[in-house]
């Protein structure tokens, strides 16, 4: 971030009046450019006890398995974002049931939100960003080929405590956990 997107002047990086941390500020038009975390929204789709996973066709983590999820867009709700991503990546129509996990990944400035969802019919297909999409029994989950710690943690908590499925799991991914899984490259 070097130039003002309103007037093209060169930006300064200073603490604005009344603030307590440095921001990109335009000395010409006084615009302040805040930088905030982004939301990744997705689903944990369940069909007769099996989980729907997508194998990624794009970087980061191409070839690894993930729950359908992606960046929330302006103008949509978290639920709409989760449903849209499930359609785009897995060509699946699901019914949202409840918020399952909300996980901050602070070192890449992301918050990942997964809704528990029911996939009524076993109808799905690989979208543009997926190599393949498949249903997995618990014993067949490819734990060593999962794309991101937020996905593995969400799946782990789902299988660990099925009685807690209606309560939200709110937690953070530490940098050590993330580096071990290569999440840093997703930032």
Residues of this chain that bind a copy of itself (CB under 8 A): 1-8, 11, 18, 21, 33-39, 71-80, 98-99, 102, 104, 106-107, 109, 111, 113, 115, 128, 166-168, 170, 172
DSSP state of 184: G
Interacting partner of 166 out of a copy of itself, Zn ion, none (Cβ under 5 to 8 A depending on kind): a copy of itself
- DSSP 3-state of 156: helix
DSSP state of 72: P
Residue 10 beta carbon to a copy of itself: minimum distance, rounded to whole angstroms: 8
Residues found in the chain = 187
> Any bridge partners for residue 55, and if so which?
65, 132
Query: Do the Cβ atoms of 168 and 90 come closer than 8 Å?
Result: no
Query: Do the Cβ atoms of 36 and 7 come closer than 8 Å?
Result: no
Nearer to a copy of itself (CB atom), residue 50 or residue 104: 104
Interacting partner of 5 out of a copy of itself, Zn ion, none (Cβ under 5 to 8 A depending on kind): a copy of itself
Which residues in this chain contact Zn ion in the complex, by CB under 5 A?
A: 4, 6-7, 9, 26, 28-29, 31
């Amino acid at each position: 971030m070097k130039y003002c997107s309103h007037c093209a002047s060169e930006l300064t990086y200073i603490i604005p009046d009344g603030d307590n941390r440095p921001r990109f500020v335009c000395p010409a038009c006084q615009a302040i450019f805040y930088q905030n975390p982004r939301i990744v929204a997705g689903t944990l789709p369940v069909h007769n006890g099996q989980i729907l996973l997508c194998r990624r066709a794009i970087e980061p983590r191409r070839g690894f398995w993930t729950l359908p999820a992606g960046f929330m867009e302006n103008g949509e709700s978290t639920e709409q974002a989760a449903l849209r991503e499930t359609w785009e990546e897995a060509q699946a129509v699901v019914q949202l049931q409840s918020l399952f996990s909300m996980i901050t990944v602070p070192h890449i400035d992301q918050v990942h939100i997964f809704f528990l969802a029911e996939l009524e019919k076993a109808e799905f297909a690989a979208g543009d960003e997926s190599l393949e999409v498949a249903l997995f029994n618990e014993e067949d989950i490819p734990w060593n080929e999962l794309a991101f710690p937020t996905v593995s943690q969400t799946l782990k908590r789902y299988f660990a405590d099925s009685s807690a499925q209606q309560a939200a799991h709110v937690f953070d991914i530490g940098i050590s956990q993330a580096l071990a899984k290569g999440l840093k490259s997703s930032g």
